[in-house]
Amino acid sequence: MRNISEIIQSPTFAKQKKKLKKNQIKKLDEAIKTIMVNPDIGDIKKGDLQGIRVYKYKVGNNLILLAYEIEGSILYLYFFGSHQNFYRELSKYLNH
């Protein structure tokens, strides 16, 4: 098990987080803590998203996907959102 010592949010991630309601932020923070405890919990992606992991969690009835990457002891948080257009937007963000 790796020990996470630092979390880095992408500018897009930070912008998205600012728009959330308090209960949504709480759920997002819980998801991040879960990832910190078990960094390998997310599904690893292939192709142009190789190396990226996606962790899925629920807010109410909505399934939210959270894209992240672990390098050494650093957790990089890239993007989160509902499944609709998630992978297309994530790919666009990572390849710009």
pLDDT for the residue numbered 2:
66
Give the integer Cα–Cα distance in Å for 70 and 83. Answer: 22
Task: Judge contact between 94 and 78, C-beta under 8 A.
Answer: yes
Under the banding of pLDDT at 50, 70 and 90, the label for residue 20 is very high
- β-pairing, 6-9 with 43-44? unpaired
Domain residue spans in the chain?
A: 6-82
13 touches 80 (CB < 8 A): yes
Closest CA to 25 of 33, 17, 34, 37: 17
pLDDT in tens, 40-93: 999 999 988 999 999 999 999 999 999 999 998 999 999 999 998 999 999 998
| pTM score of the predicted model | 0.91
Q: Which CATH class is domain 6-82?
A: alpha beta
